[in-house]
Every structure is written in structure tokens, then in C-alpha cells.
Structure 1
Amino acid sequence: MTASNTLDQIAYLDRAAGSDAGRSYKRELLAALDLRPGHTVVDVGCGPGTDLPALAAAVGAGGSVVGVDHDPGMVEQARTRTAAHPCVTIRVGDAHALPLDDAVADRARSDRVLQHLADPAAAVRELRRVLRPGGLVTLAEPDWDTLAIDAADLATSRAYTRFIVSEVVRNACVGRGLARLLHEAGFVVESVAARAVLFRDHDSAEAILRMPAVARRAWQAGALDEPAARAWLAGLEQGPFLAAVTFFTVVGRVPEH
């Protein structure tokens, strides 16, 4: 990833985390981790370090927070953002082969990362490997196959969603499979939750869905009719706007024996 692409991606992640939906589910994920002072927690796919300060505050000076990301640019940004937290360590690493020993962490999390990986099941097995008996993991992913955008031209809305699922997001439906992935990796599934993330205005949706850019890719690939897509985009911008996508969060525990 180039420096420019990394900066664009950081800006996108910051917008998503700062949205109302982003702040809400992140609070819930933090609570579900049940972090205690002295815990070691691993954030796989930590990106620019968005969630690391909150993890550091929860585990305290006697705890340890390890962020792992494959992109050196993200790691550099995360190190800058967490410089005031001595308990935080950031490492360049692959989610499929974490740079950590077996059974070294009390808690682990992965937030909107599995949808992009070559092998989500292998990454979940890695989370299982680095957690101690009794350790908890939280996973959070959207299911892009459920994206519904209201428009008079429903055919274009449906084609837009199909393009995201088939061409834009590598594992677009991974959200619905999170509990199964945990079970197959040897976790006990503690909880599964699904919520509809609702967008009621065009600008907040655009910050996450990037509709003109994706639609342009789609008509260039022949998946959308360009005049119809342009009219569809204009209608969405004019409003009223409504869109929703299902977002899944799960909690798993490593058996004690």
C-alpha cells in the first residue's frame, strides 16, 4: 500500500470510528472484552491505533496492549497515537501468523478485519492459539450482502450491493459466519448479536459506503449501466435517504481444559 493510499485508508477508518454507529458498537465491544487491570490484550488489525488507548486505559499500567497490523504505515501511525501509553506495543505482522507465542494473551479482538483477509478461518485459529485458557475474543464484521439502499430504482440498488459482494469486499458475508468460525476454531461461543446499522442522511452514508466511487468502479466493470447509475446517485443525494446493513458482533471463550 502506498503512503497516499495508507493516508486515505486512515482517514476512512477515522470517519467510520467517529460515526454514531461506530462509537456505539465499539463501546459494546470494549465492555464485552471484560478487561481487567493487568490483562494482556491483542488487537489484530489495529490499523492506526484507533482503539488502543481505550484498551490501555482498561488494563492499566500493569497490563499490556499489543497491536498488530500488516501495513507499516498503519503501524507507524498507531505508534505515534499511542506514544503516551507505555503499556502499548505495536508490531508489523500477519493476522494469519501472528508474531506472538502460544497462550500469551488474556483477551483478543478483531474489528472489521476478517472481511479483508485471504483466510478468515486461519486468522481465527491464530486468535485461539495466542489466547490463554479462559481467554475471551470479540469479533465484529458487517454482512455486505444485507446492504439495502432505498431508491426508486431498486434494480440499481440491488446491482450495487451485488457488486460490493462480488468485487469490492473479499469476504463480504463473513459477518453471518463469525459464530461458526469461532466454533470451528475451538472457542465456546458466548454471545452473538446482530444490529441494523441505519443511515438516515446521505453524507453520513457516503463517509462509510463511498457510493460514487464504488458505483464508478461498477459501471466501468460493466456491472451497472452508467446513465442509470448516475441518475441513481443523483436521486440518493437529493434525498430523502435511507440505507441499512446488518452488523454482527460475537464473543468467544477459550475452554479452561
Structure 2
Amino acid sequence: MTSSVASSAPASYLDAVAATDAARSYKRALLAALAVEPGHQVLDVGCGPGTDLAALADAAGATGAVFGIDQDPRMVATTQERMADRPTVAVRQADAQQLPFDTHSIDRARADRVLMHVADPAAVLGEIHRVLRPGGLLTLAEPDWDTLAIDHPDLAVSRAFTGYVAERLHRNRAIGRQLPRLAAHAGFSLRAVRNEAVVLTDFGTAETILGLRRNTERAAAAGFLTPEETDGWLEHLRTDTFFATASFITVVAQSAT
């Protein structure tokens, strides 16, 4: 999960989230499900700082090609620098709703925590379906921010914070639960749908993923929490037994053969 809009999140933040145990686990599973083979043309939609491009390139081999696209020019520049020694990886700035690839030119595609930020998730999935070859595979991963729950003695305060995170920080707050329907409507057949529910039991990891301190400050500034509630909320989360959870939906889909 990420807790800030993708286009404004720094690469360091995205790197830190990708390094957590929860992220590594689902990324490994989806890479295996994508079944990239030598010679494949692979597309990473919303590649961010290029976290997953090297693994994709290793799987596609010297005869394959990996394309990373992102709408943020700063992220593209960072990723191009990181992938400079990878001749089979090409990174470019592009709109996921208008992919710069020919119809049926891609063998495998992935979109990881991207659709929650785009204006039209259905359009993105339609474009991915267009560029995938018949029988091509797609993996998707998105949180469902409406399911975020954080334990606190005052349920109203907890709901105020999670309400802020869902309503103000994410364009498509319930995209996780919508993935199967949107993928099916775009023409994909669903091969696997899972809820890889995230469970956080320490404040440090939650701070990395959810940005608890900065987002508490933002929630207070937006009127979701009072100053008194803010102080008590953070003190409890830091010093008492911590628990937070949210649904995280992954989908493996296939284009029509």
C-alpha cells in the first residue's frame, strides 16, 4: 500500500514501502504468476522508481524487452538512471490511459498500486487489454482504503483518521474491491483473485507505509481531528500495542485467446 498520491511521492518513500516484508511477499507471488519467459515483451504500467524492472528484465532475458512507463518526469529520470546498465529496459514518460504501444505487441503487463491514482481506471485496463497479445497475462495489485482499520480506544478518533486517508489522499479509495469487475469489463478472464490483507503490528512499519505522523498532521489541518485528539492518538499508537489492517487485492488476469 502507499498512502500518498503516486505522482507526488518521492522515490525514497516508494523504495521504503517496497522494502517492507508485506510488499516483498506479494511482489514475489505476482512475479511468479506473471510467468515471464525469455523473449517476452513486458510492460510495467506506472513503474515509479523502477522497483520491479530488474526482476522483470532478468526473467525476460537478453532476447526480451521490458518497458516501464510513468507520468511523472522526475520518476522517469530517476528510473532511467537506475536502469542505465540494463540494455533490455526502456523507460519513458507516458499516460497510462493512452499507452504508446501497438495493439497486441506486449506479452505480459503489470500495474502495481497505480489505479488508485488515475482519473479513469477502466480506460487504463482497456488500454492494457489492447496492447496485450491474445493469451497475454496481467497482474494487478491495489489496496482498498475504505477497509483501513487502526486499533485505538476511541473508535471515533480512529475512524476520523482512516476516513481522512481514504477520502483525501486517494482518488479511487475502493479500487481494490473493484479490480475483478473492472478487469472483466475490460475483456480479461480472471485466473486468480486474492485478498493479501496487510497486517501491521509495529508503529515503525506502519509509519513507513501509512505516514502516520505527517498524515495525522494533515488530518488535523483538514478538520478531521482536533489538536487534543491528535496528541492522544499518536501517543497511544507509539506507546501501546499497535495493530492496523487493510484489504489488499491482487488479480491475475488473461486476455482473450
Same fold (TM over 0.5): yes
> What is the match of residue 40 of structure 1?
41
Q: Aligned residue for 1:65?
A: 66
1:38-59, Cα deviation, whole Å (9 max, x unpaired): 0000000001111000000000
**CA 1:164 to 1:7, structure 2 compared with 1: closer, same or farther past 3 Å?**
closer
* Cα displacement (A) at 1:220: 1.2
Q: Deviations over 1:99-123 (max 9, x none)?
A: 1111110000000000011111111
Query: How far, CA to CA, are the matches of 1:78 and 1:200 in structure 2?
Result: 32
Contact map agreement 1:6 1:73 (CA 8 A) in 2:
no
- Bigger mean CA offset, 216-225 vs 129-138: 216-225
- Find the aligned partners of 2:138 and 2:144 in 1 and give their Cα distance: 19
d(CA) in 2 for partners of 1:114, 1:144: 13
Root-mean-square deviation (Å): 1.3
- Cα distance in structure 1, aligned partners of 2:207 and 2:72: 25
- Find out whether 1:29 has 2:30 as its counterpart: yes
- Conservation of the 8 A alpha-carbon contact between 1:219 and 1:225: yes
Aligned to 1:102: 103
Distance, in Å, in 1 between the alignment partners of 2:227 and 2:140 is 37
The alignment partner of 1:102 has SS state of coil
Residue 214 of structure 1 is matched in structure 2 by 215
Q: Does 1:52 align with 2:49?
A: no
Q: Displacement, 1:8?
A: 5.5
Q: Which residue of 1 aligns with 2:184?
A: 183
Structure 2's unaligned 5+ residue stretches are 1-5
**In structure 1, distance between residues paired with 2:107 and 2:17:** 27
Partner of 2:139: 138
Q: Which amino acid aligns with 1:172?
A: R
CA shift at 1:6, angstroms?
Answer: 7.6
Map 1:136-215 onto structure 2 (within 5 A).
136-215=137-216
Task: Report runs of 4+ in structure 1 exceeding 4 Å deviation.
Answer: 5-8
Give 1:160's aligned amino acid.
Answer: F
Structure 2 Cα separation of the partners of residues 19 and 51 of structure 1: 14
Aligned AA for 2:19?
G
- Gapped runs of 5+ residues in structure 1? none
Secondary structure, aligned partner of 1:191: strand
Q: Give the drift of 1:7.
A: 8.8
Q: 1:89 Cα deviation (Å)?
A: 0.5
Secondary structure in structure 2 of the residue aligned to 1:147 = strand
| Residue-by-residue CA offset, 1:137-171 (whole Å, 9 max, x unaligned) | 00000111111111112211111111112111111
- The count of residues paired between Structure 1 and Structure 2 equals 252
Cα pair 1:143 1:245 within 8 Å, conserved = yes
Change (3 A) 1:8 1:107: closer
Q: CA deviation at 1:222?
A: 1.2
Tell me if 1:223 matches 2:215.
no
Per mean C-alpha deviation after superposition, the further-off stretch among 69-78 and 219-228 is 219-228
In 1, the alpha carbon distance for the partners of 2:182 and 2:232 equals 40
CA deviations on 1:167-216 (whole Å, 9 max, x unpaired) are 11111110011010100101111110002211111011000101121121
Report the AA paired with residue 140 of structure 2. Answer: L
**Separation of aligned partners in 1, 2:43 and 2:212:** 33
TM-score, normalization: structure 2?
Answer: 0.95
Query: Which 10-residue stretch deviates more, 152-161 or 130-139?
Result: 152-161
Corresponding position of 1:117: 118
Percent identical pairs in the alignment equals 51
Partner of 1:80: 81
Whether the 8 Å CA contact 1:35–1:59 is kept in 2: the answer is: yes
**Which amino acid is the alignment partner of residue 232 of structure 1?**
W
Which position in structure 2 is the counterpart of 1:91? 92
- The secondary structure found in structure 1 opposite 2:36 is coil
Q: Deviations over 1:82-102 (max 9, x none)?
A: 122111011110011111111
- Return the letter of the residue paired with 1:99: P
Q: 3-state DSSP class of the match of 2:84?
A: coil
One-letter amino acid of the structure 2 residue matched with residue 216 of structure 1 = E
> How far apart in 2 are the matches of 1:95 and 1:198?
30
